């Protein structure tokens, strides 16, 4: 893969810059602060995008290279793959995804995978090189070379990391130690105390003990629930019964009210009847009085008649005696002394009776008038009484019908709940108010019992709330334990995979690297160092010209620098099917001229199928290449 053309519209301090690169060696020369590092970051970011996250830095790359006072933040890069396909990338760094065009200037961006976080993965799909690998192998930055003796071990460690894990920033031992430390501190084990997993398990055991003690409250709760249901059903039934009795009582009260109205009419009827009886009594008195007078008159007349007759008889007797003694005429005596007096007596009596009868008649007529008047009054009162009786009869029938209808409604309303006829029989035998009082009292007693149960239940619920809280906490702890165990398993798996990968790297890939590294360092160091190896105890070791294996820390910083670059170069063909460019940023700043000449020769001869891009602030590279008659492309910033 070769970079053909770089066009920068606005990026950092670079503006309207266009650079053409060739397939062989390209020297990008510029003084310090001229934009070399900016150009290098531009190349990386146009391939992979620019991050807006700080990632531990004081400022993100997006903010760092964003042009001041300008909206445009873009550029383009043209490159060619090993199969001859050419592509152009246009990227607006304000946006996540670039536009990718083929040689026919067709937009082929959608033909590649898209990752939500990072956008279109076109360059990874084409080269199988991600951003981390790109910066670990393809690019050698200036700040990766450390000259301070105190930093020498860091560089050696990076060499060992690169040879052991394929990434100079990743140390197998440190990663393993870090995983073990995280596992110990963040999780713990059966043998530790006070670690998260120990705290969780201990708390779960304590909760289990308390929950076991609280289990009895569940049975109590069931018992109170049963009682509560029983009393609630009783209360509901008593309420219904009370409602029934009250409904019946309403009918009874209504009947009583209507009966009171009838009683008033009965009273009125009785008053009429009493009045009739009184009038009849008056009438009878008049009749009796009239009869008594007639009888009295008769008695008086008889007495008078008797006295007169006695008087006449007395005279007649005297005359008779006188006649017998003196006249002695019997017939005359009889006629004179008996018949004539009798006649006179009769005449007298008849006349007298006539007068008396006239008086009696007058009196009788008066009494009869009074009696007739009384009869009329009695008749009128009888009519009124009969009318009242008829009204009472009709009202009684109406009340009975209405009561029957209302009772039928009640029977229908409560037919599935109570035996209405039985209750009605009870009402007939008892005062309904007494029944209502009994039911009300029973209802109150049941309510009181239910209230006691509710208080008991509340106490149980308080305990059960603690139980629920503990169960929730227990479930949360179980989930936490599960997460800790999963995390522990993940760490164990990571350690296992890491060890497996490391062993695989050490057994299969590292030997290739160290073999290539040995060849490269032999050429670069003029056979001073012929063999490079790596082991778990001493890390990176080098065979010197005397055949002695010495730790890399004992080498000079310049030699370590050579080893570092050589190891990167030995890995570059292993990571991708594409012949990736080699980008070196001030990588030779601390090489002496001999070492620089050797490395340039090596690069030109051994890696001539790779595009080489060297960023430098000196002209040493140009001078040596000119002396060696090696062709190169010079770009001045």
CA distance 416 to 594: 115
| Tokens of residue 442, six digits | 């029973």
pLDDT (0 to 100) of residue 70: 87
3-class state of residue 426 by DSSP: helix
Residue whose C-alpha is closest to residue 514's, from 537, 539, 531: 531
In this predicted structure, the answer to whether residue 34 has a pLDDT above a threshold of 70 is: yes
Q: Where are the domains of the chain?
A: 1-129+576-637
Q: Which two tokens stand for residue 185?
A: 């501190």
pLDDT digits (tens, 9 = 90+) for 115-167: 888 889 999 999 988 888 788 778 876 544 433 444 444 444 554 555 555 55
Q: Average pLDDT, stretch 536-551?
A: 75
* Span of 89-103, 196-210, 538-552 with lowest mean pLDDT: 538-552
Q: Which of 37-51, 602-616, 622-636 has the lowest mean pLDDT?
A: 602-616
- Mean local confidence (pLDDT), 11-35: 93
Is the domain spanning 1-129+576-637 CATH 3.30.70.260? The answer is no
Q: How many residues does the chain have?
A: 637
What's the pLDDT tens digit per position in 550-597? 777 777 766 777 776 776 676 677 678 899 999 998 888 777 888 888
d(CA 477, CA 199): 10
Query: Using one digit for the tens of pLDDT, what is the confidence trace for 243-290?
Result: 888 888 888 888 888 888 888 888 888 888 888 888 888 878 877 776
Averaged over 529-547, what is the pLDDT? 74
List b or e across 443-481, with b for residues whose CB sees 16 or more CB atoms inside 10 angstroms.
beebeebbeebeebbeebbebbeebeebeeebeebeebb
Higher pLDDT, 323 or 139: 139
pLDDT tens for each residue of 375-393: 888 888 888 888 888 888 8
Confidence at 423, pLDDT banded by 50, 70, 90: confident
| Residues near 175 by beta carbon (within 8 Å), at least 6 away in sequence | 498
Task: Return d(Cα 85, Cα 96) in angstroms, integer.
Answer: 24
For residue range 54-91, what is the model confidence (pLDDT) as tens digits?
877 789 999 999 998 888 999 999 999 999 999 999 99
d(CA 465, CA 386): 79
| pLDDT confidence of residue 320 | 64
What confidence tier does 521 reach under pLDDT thresholds 50, 70, 90?
confident
Residue 485 has pLDDT above 70, yes or no: yes
> Residue 298 pLDDT more than 70?
no
Q: Is the pTM of this model over 0.95?
A: no
d(CA 309, CA 304): 8
- Report in angstroms the alpha-carbon separations of 547 from 532, 533, 541, 550: 11, 13, 12, 9
Per the prediction, the chain carries an average pLDDT of 80
| Alpha-carbon span 60 to 58, nearest angstrom | 7
Mean pLDDT, rounded, for 234-243:
86
332, 323 Cβ separation under 8 angstroms: yes
Task: Take residue 58 and report the two structure tokens written for it.
Answer: 């004081």
* Least-confidence region, from 17-21, 30-34, 304-308, 513-517: 304-308
Tokens of 332: 């005359």
Tell me what pLDDT residue 288 has.
75
**pLDDT for 549 beyond 50:** yes
């Amino acid at each position: 893969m070769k970079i053909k053309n770089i066009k920068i519209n606005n990026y950092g301090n670079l503006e309207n810059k266009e650079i053409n690169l060739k397939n062989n060696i390209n020297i990008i020369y510029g003084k310090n602060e001229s934009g070399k590092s900016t150009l290098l970051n531009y190349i990386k970011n146009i391939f992979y995008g620019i991050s807006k996250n700080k990632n531990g830095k004081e400022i993100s790359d997006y903010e760092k290279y964003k042009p001041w006072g300008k909206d445009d933040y873009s550029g383009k890069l043209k490159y060619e793959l090993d199969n001859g396909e050419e592509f152009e990338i246009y990227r607006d760094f304000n946006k996540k995804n670039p536009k990718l065009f083929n040689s026919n200037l067709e937009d082929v961006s959608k033909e590649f995978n898209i990752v939500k976080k990072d956008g279109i993965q076109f360059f990874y799909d084409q080269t199988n090189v991600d951003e981390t690998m790109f910066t670990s192998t393809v690019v050698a930055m200036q700040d990766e070379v450390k000259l301070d003796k105190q930093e020498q071990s860091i560089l050696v460690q990076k060499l060992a990391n690169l040879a052991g894990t394929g990434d100079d920033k990743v140390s197998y031992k440190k990663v393993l130690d870090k995983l073990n430390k995280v596992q110990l501190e963040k999780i713990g084990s059966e043998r530790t105390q006070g670690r998260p997993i120990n705290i969780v398990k201990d708390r779960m055991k304590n909760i289990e003990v308390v929950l076991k003690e609280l289990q009895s409250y569940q049975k109590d709760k069931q018992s109170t629930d049963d009682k509560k249901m029983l009393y609630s059903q009783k209360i509901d039934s008593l309420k219904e019964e009370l409602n029934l009795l009250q409904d019946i009582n309403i009918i009874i009260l209504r009947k009583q009210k209507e009966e009171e109205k009838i009683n008033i009419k009965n009273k009125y009827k009785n008053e009429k009847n009493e009045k009739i009886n009184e009038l009849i009594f008056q009438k009878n008195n008049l009749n009796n009085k009239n009869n008594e007078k007639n009888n009295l008159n008769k008695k008086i007349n008889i007495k008078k008649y008797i006295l007169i007759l006695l008087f006449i008889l007395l005279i007649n007797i005297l005359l008779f005696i006188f006649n017998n003694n003196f006249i002695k005429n019997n017939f005359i005596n009889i006629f004179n002394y008996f018949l004539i007096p009798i006649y006179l007596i009769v005449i007298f009596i008849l006349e007298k009776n006539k007068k008396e009868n006239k008086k009696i008649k007058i009196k009788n007529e008066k009494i009869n008038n009074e009696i007739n008047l009384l009869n009329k009054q009695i008749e009128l009162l009888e009519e009124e009484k009969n009318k009242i009786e008829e009204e009472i009869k009709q009202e009684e029938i109406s009340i009975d019908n209405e009561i029957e209808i209302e009772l039928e409604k009640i029977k229908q309303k409560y037919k599935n709940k109570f035996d209405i006829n039985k209750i009605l029989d009870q009402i007939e035998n008892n005062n309904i108010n007494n029944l209502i009082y009994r039911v009300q009292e029973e209802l109150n007693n049941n309510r009181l019992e239910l209230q006691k149960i509710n208080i008991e239940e509340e106490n149980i619920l308080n305990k059960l709330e603690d139980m629920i809280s503990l169960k929730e906490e227990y479930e949360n702890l179980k989930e936490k334990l599960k997460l800790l165990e999963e995390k522990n398993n993940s760490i164990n798996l990571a350690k296992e995979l890491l060890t497996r990968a490391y062993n695989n790297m050490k057994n299969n890939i590292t030997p290739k690297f160290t073999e290539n590294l040995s060849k490269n360092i032999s050429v670069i160091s003029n056979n001073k160092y012929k063999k490079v190896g790596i082991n778990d105890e001493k890390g990176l070791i080098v065979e010197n010209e005397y055949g002695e294996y010495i730790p890399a820390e004992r080498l000079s910083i310049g030699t370590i620098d050579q080893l570092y670059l050589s190891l990167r170069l030995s890995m570059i063909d292993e990571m991708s099917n594409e012949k990736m460019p080699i980008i070196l940023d001030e990588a030779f700043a601390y090489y002496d001229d001999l070492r620089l000449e050797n490395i340039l020769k090596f690069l030109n001869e051994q890696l001539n199928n790779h595009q080489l891009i060297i960023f430098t602030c000196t002209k040493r590279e140009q001078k040596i290449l000119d002396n060696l008659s090696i062709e190169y492309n010079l770009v001045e910033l």
